[in-house]
Structure 1
């Protein structure tokens, strides 16, 4: 964070002494600003893992240590350690990716990442299956095209999101630029990152190493996003801090501000829960960065550093009260929030296929099931996007729904890209059901350590069974948002979907119904810990009734609420 914003109160709260901090807070405080023993741990070739303390510190560097859970038991029987590898997540504000970036990402995926790229629900990419001896080479490869993984994970401001599916106007371009500006501002300074991964020398200085974050950084992860109405594709109400762009004749005039959203909950801990953000007011564009500093500093100083499950900003907002938090933000920002400006959302999905932009160029949105960029029978997504990147003169945009937009295509270049899409079996969005196009799943098994059930691998089969019900009822082309998460943490933003499954055990899920179509309402737990047969048995009559009794333009989630299903949950 920069230190030249004079209006922001950067004083740190000292009400939580070190001896009262939770274990993760103590670890951060004693980590020498996230250095730990990472450098030496990477050199140990006896194991594919790093020492326990460094596993958590590596998250700030943009990676998670994982293992292949499909073979964990077999390796245990053979008295072998787990098949350790690393997930590496790239910082890519607003999902903006140049063809040069994409070609490097493709190269690294084929060299170190198991010939696959995962598009995430926060508009970036992840590599899985990276072995410890290849981590530094992968990070340095990203640096070749000026990409990094700073703060892609960890207790800090994560990658900043930005609407990828508005009306493709100058306003859209400006907000994407502002998301990059804010991301560069809010990430930690991370001298450790440059020393460990790039080989920079440590430089002695009297300046504070982390002038904003301090030794303990934030209590938990902090998510920021920009939305451009009428598209709520980033699910603004799930963000810790949201900026809703208000446009005028000269571009962005300012932003409506939302605070305190978050999806995660901890299983069997009833004091944790998903929460939608509160709209607290409006700021002019000039206060974009001071507002972020003010909001984040409130969480830095007052967030729960003792009980980690209660450490997200949403709990700080609830514990302190929205009015108190708003007043503290205004005090630190040095300016009062204005009343919120009018706006309206009408969807949170993507617009597929070709469309012309306001400047006469063209965008093509490619559906990528669960964001899994791989080559398979009849559909070569990895090879196809590589071929397109070699000739594309515009940009790529990663969407919050795990799809990719081939953006800014000149009319004269469209035919060549269409030919490459067809050659690789990728021009088929019109043949895909609306349910599938509005689906999201997290990675889950076999790589995620938190997963209790399948998500990404299970989604295609499950959607096929729901599609049979929809076709029977004449609903194949009706968009319904459906999301699956392998655990309650909610990486696929399940708690705002019209239909959602969250994993409880292998083959068992909690079923949620009734979220708002454009992310404006949480859904409700309808049935707990049930398998596929029970889920389909529940959904079939509800969908049949929806087909017969819905009102004109009524969304499935709204029907669920009107028909009284949530009252019986």
Structure 2
């Protein structure tokens, strides 16, 4: 197995000795292309799958979870854990029809917990589904011509793309190529349709022979993430991807892509061999070359990724430890030709696409903010009901964004006033300037459903952002953009290592604070303070805001300021009482 020594490959587990390879690798190998015993356990009594099968259902877009809020009460009552399931759809580029969205909305009411959640990879999650309702839920998703296959698991995940509506042919091709990559790298096993759709072929995949020509019997060492960006706009956090394709234009024509590789956010507390990493340039490709080159890059990771230690299994470690030159050579040998040198990349924005914007065809799109991606009704904001009524009536195309927001496309000029009035009647704000500092904030679900969560995130961040509004206002900084990202563990699902401020759960009510990222999402932040209690997070940030106000350069953002002055000076100066007056 690969341990960092050049030349060792890791795909053929048939020749492993006793104890070699992680447990998950053997589960995959023995699964008969992701079948395992899923069908048998799906029909069996009981609310859960066994541990080995929970690894396989991930490939089908399913995570087994529990209501951790109920854990102690159920333990005291000597009853089984409150098992439930999260189901994630694969939605390349976040592109949905009105009918597909309404299907997800209906499933959430009939089988899930009544909410929808937009993910940071432009897909949708349904939470709180019980085992007996999994098949009905997944069948309904497939009937809407979406799929949950490969939304999770050790495969290529949802392919991201700039969600802005098509303004020219080049932008159309960017979105088309993102979809083509998703289809090209989808698993070929027929297990998914056998188990969930009774063998009926609903979503077309080019080759359904019982082989995995790309993945092999053991698929990838870990998940794999790809994003396609439009020139200059880093709205999908391109440097956090395993493979990022940044479009290059000649006039309004798509000339090709600059590829960056080796990004990834996950790490493990106390394990120095794990770390977040930004992608780095590899090469330029033409539009016709893109699919082959991306597939070939993935096969290098398939063959050399660490299959003994899943915490060290992402492609970023292969790139970091073996080097970009070695990686390029591997790709070139497999392709049979030399790659072009990478062009310089210039990022000038990280658009959130909120508010009203006119499209090239004269219609409009409207980007709506969704706090932490959670679509539900609450007092004063009936977001779920309002979206449902507008989408039912006007049937817009939809896009989900990497910031967990939603866009309504192709709205006619004559309908704008009426749509805005209808949304306002449900408490839905259409002016992004009125969202406040939550406009650039994101959190992962964390507790109570995520089994990896060490601390709160989605339920904690709103109070923190609200508490920071007052000192920002008092300092005259209330109009300044400030990105805040919070996760309940170090795996980084909300990309906390890229924000102006990142809060990363360390244990119950304790967080590491990171500062110094940038709004363009091109630079990672740095650890500022470790193991800060939830109640002290705002107090830890307030002095930094005062220092920023006092010492910033004209128009200098908070993250840029923190990066410029450095962590040690931040720590020293923030301790000065004079900054608080």
Normalising by the smaller structure, the TM-score range is over 0.9
Of the candidates 409, 416, 419, which is equivalent to residue 417 of structure 1? 419
CA–CA distance in structure 2, aligned partners of residues 479 and 169 of structure 1: 30
- Aligned 8 A contact 1:237 1:277 in 2: yes
Q: 1:276 to 1:16 in 2, by over 3 A?
A: farther
TM normalised by structure 2 equals 0.92
- The count of corresponding residues between Structure 1 and Structure 2 is 556
Does residue 37 (structure 1) correspond to residue 37 (structure 2)? The answer is yes
Of the candidates 536, 544, 547, which is equivalent to residue 546 of structure 2? 544
How far apart are residue 349 of structure 1 and its match? 4.3
Of the candidates 321, 332, 336, which is equivalent to residue 323 of structure 2? 321
How far apart are residue 77 of structure 1 and its match? 0.7
Q: 1:27 to 1:426 in 2, by over 3 A?
A: same
Does residue 406 (structure 1) correspond to residue 405 (structure 2)? The answer is no
How far apart are residue 15 of structure 1 and its match? 8.7
How far apart are residue 306 of structure 1 and its match? 1.0
Of the candidates 271, 291, 297, which is equivalent to residue 299 of structure 2? 297
Corresponding residue of 2:51 = 52
Secondary structure, aligned partner of 1:275: coil
Secondary structure, aligned partner of 1:285: coil
- Aligned 8 A contact 2:386 2:422 in 1: yes
- Aligned 8 A contact 2:220 2:301 in 1: yes
Q: How does 1:35-184 map to 2 (within 5 A)?
A: 35-45=35-45, 47-165=46-164, 168-184=167-183
Corresponding residue of 1:395 = 397
Of the candidates 462, 475, 492, which is equivalent to residue 477 of structure 2? 475
Secondary structure, aligned partner of 1:71: helix
- Aligned 8 A contact 2:188 2:210 in 1: no
Q: 1:300 to 1:485 in 2, by over 3 A?
A: same
CA–CA distance in structure 2, aligned partners of residues 166 and 91 of structure 1: 20
1:492-533 deviations in whole A, cap 9, x for unaligned? 000111100000122110000101221111111111111134
CA–CA distance in structure 2, aligned partners of residues 12 and 508 of structure 1: 38
Corresponding residue of 1:243 = 245
CA RMSD of aligned residues (A): 2.0
CA–CA distance in structure 2, aligned partners of residues 429 and 337 of structure 1: 45
- Aligned 8 A contact 2:284 2:341 in 1: yes
Secondary structure, aligned partner of 1:242: strand
CA–CA distance in structure 1, aligned partners of residues 354 and 192 of structure 2: 38
CA–CA distance in structure 2, aligned partners of residues 402 and 275 of structure 1: 22
Corresponding residue of 1:514 = 516
- Aligned 8 A contact 1:433 1:477 in 2: no
- Aligned 8 A contact 1:346 1:518 in 2: yes
Q: 1:382 to 1:206 in 2, by over 3 A?
A: closer
Corresponding residue of 1:7 = none
Corresponding residue of 1:444 = 446
Unaligned runs of 5+ in 1: 1-10
1:412-435 deviations in whole A, cap 9, x for unaligned? 222332232122111254453542
Unaligned runs of 5+ in 2: 1-8, 202-206, 572-581
TM normalised by structure 1 equals 0.94
CA–CA distance in structure 2, aligned partners of residues 495 and 289 of structure 1: 29
Q: 1:211 to 1:552 in 2, by over 3 A?
A: same
Q: 1:354 to 1:201 in 2, by over 3 A?
A: closer
- Aligned 8 A contact 1:283 1:338 in 2: yes
Of the candidates 306, 327, 336, which is equivalent to residue 334 of structure 1? 336
How far apart are residue 385 of structure 1 and its match? 1.1
Q: 1:430 to 1:16 in 2, by over 3 A?
A: same
